[in-house]
Amino acid sequence: MKYKAYLVEENEGQFSGSIKELEVPSLEMGKVLIKVHNSSLNYKDALASTGVKGVVRSYPFVPGIDVSGEVLECSSSKFSVGDKVIATGYKIGMAEFGGFGGIVHLPDEWVLKSPENLSHYDAMSYGTAGITAAACVKKILDAEVTKNLPVLVSGATGGVGSIAVGLLSKLDYEVHALTGKIDEIEILKSMGATKIISRDEYMSEPAKALDKGIYSGAVDTVGGEMLSKILSMISNHGVVSCCGNVGGMMFSSSVFPFILRGIQLSGIDSAESSLNLKSELWNLLSNQWSLDLSNQTKTVKIEDIDLEIDKILKGNQIGRVVIEHGE
Ligand SMILES: NC(=O)c1ccc[n+]([C@@H]2O[C@H](COP(=O)([O-])OP(=O)(O)OC[C@H]3O[C@@H](n4cnc5c(N)ncnc54)[C@H](OP(=O)(O)O)[C@@H]3O)[C@@H](O)[C@H]2O)c1
């Protein structure tokens, strides 16, 4: 039996993806075979699709760190045929062929049963971006960060950023959105932001050792110098959830935000989080924290993914991209 997948191949150092028919693997012990109904596009998938070093172990390869589908076969009693399941992160789309294919063959310890009330489509409109945003927000909530000052979200129109804006706003925080797409005021407001800040304006002055503490917390998807600046502007006992590096890997800070304001810098690694934490976050997203993402989600067939990969690499995506496989 064959299935259709977006296979990335390397040819003389150049990487390109195309739709290929692949043989369905035979079920191995400890694994589960899943028919993928939907996947989604994350920044990491774009890196995997273009051969950026350090993401995929070896090519040819099928990217896709997110999967929502139904169990076809399982080597243990953990899942029954037909179970609705979600799998995100771990080494999916990095060392194991991922959700850009119509079938995946994954270790069963990476897979969880989907909440009853969450469709395949809705699950993937959150995807890794959604559980990452939820993990960032949970750090802020768990530290009981005050709602008396606004929280800042960087990369606000992106996948993680837009969901973080929505979640924080739903949880009654005043949300300020930091964006490079200053023309997208309306969509950012519809996501729940009350103030839109231009990235260029925000970054026009270099970070100080300690600036005015005007934010109670932040979700930073950008990293680099933007993170340096954000840290200097967090008020006493605030929390910055740091999850991304689209703006750079290295950042600098003085110790002042930490020793004079007691702020916390919380790292998020959603891919390698425990299945228990992932399950908790999926339950929140499908119940108390559920968001209507329809305005900020686009659906594409896997055949049309190239254009979307190009857009996310240029920082031009808005919200989320859900991938359909069809029959
Ligand atoms: N730690 C984890 O567990 C985890 C999980 C998922 C994702 N991530 C990381 O989080 C980041 C965002 O992922 P995503 O899937 O949300 O990507 P995305 O949809 O492309 O969003 C990133 C957003 O950042 C802004 N941006 C892009 N390039 C920038 C630049 N050079 N300087 C400043 N801002 C820039 C843009 O928003 P604006 O135009 O609105 O500014 C862009 O839409 C990535 O670094 C990704 O690897 C980490």
The pLDDT tens digits for 1-21 are: 999 999 999 999 999 999 999
Q: In the numeric block, which tokens belong to residue 43?
A: 């920044």
The pLDDT tens digits for 184-239 are: 999 999 999 999 999 999 999 999 999 999 999 999 999 999 999 999 999 999 99
Question: For the chain, what is the mean pLDDT?
Answer: 97
Tell me: pLDDT of 327 over 70: no
- Under the banding of pLDDT at 50, 70 and 90, the label for residue 145 is very high
- CATH of span 129-267: 3.40.50.720
Is it true that 2-114+293-324 and 129-267 share their CATH fold? no
Residue 237 backbone phi and psi in degrees, to 5: 65, 25
Tell me: pLDDT of 326 over 80: no
Cβ < 6 A, ligand 1 pocket: 42-44, 128-129, 132, 155-161, 179-181, 199, 221-222, 243-247, 268-271, 312, 315, 317
* DSSP conformational letter for 200: H
Q: By alpha-carbon position, which residue is closest to atom 31 of ligand 1?
A: 247
Which secondary structure element, helix H or strand E, spans residue 189, and what is its range? helix 185-191
Q: What CATH number matches the domain at 2-114+293-324, 2.70.40.10, 3.40.30.10, 3.30.450.20, 3.90.180.10?
A: 3.90.180.10
For tokens 């998807």, what's the residue?
221
CA 122 to centroid of ligand 1, rounded, Å: 21
- Which of 243, 240, 246 is closest to 269 using CA atoms? 243
CA 241 to centroid of ligand 1, rounded, Å: 13
Instruction: Report the pLDDT value the prediction gives residue 144, as an integer from 0 to 100.
Output: 97
Tell me: pLDDT of 170 over 90: yes
Q: By alpha-carbon position, which residue is closest to atom 27 of ligand 1?
A: 315
CA 247 to centroid of ligand 1, rounded, Å: 8
The pLDDT tens digits for 252-295 are: 999 999 999 999 999 999 999 999 999 999 999 999 999 999 99
- The predicted model gives 143-164 an average pLDDT of 97
For the CA of 313, the nearest atom of ligand 1: 20
Sequence spans of domains, the chain: 2-114+293-324, 129-267
DSSP E strands, 12-136: 14-23, 31-41, 66-74, 84-88, 103-107, 111-113
Q: In the numeric block, which tokens belong to residue 99?
A: 């959700």
Whole-model pTM: value is 0.97
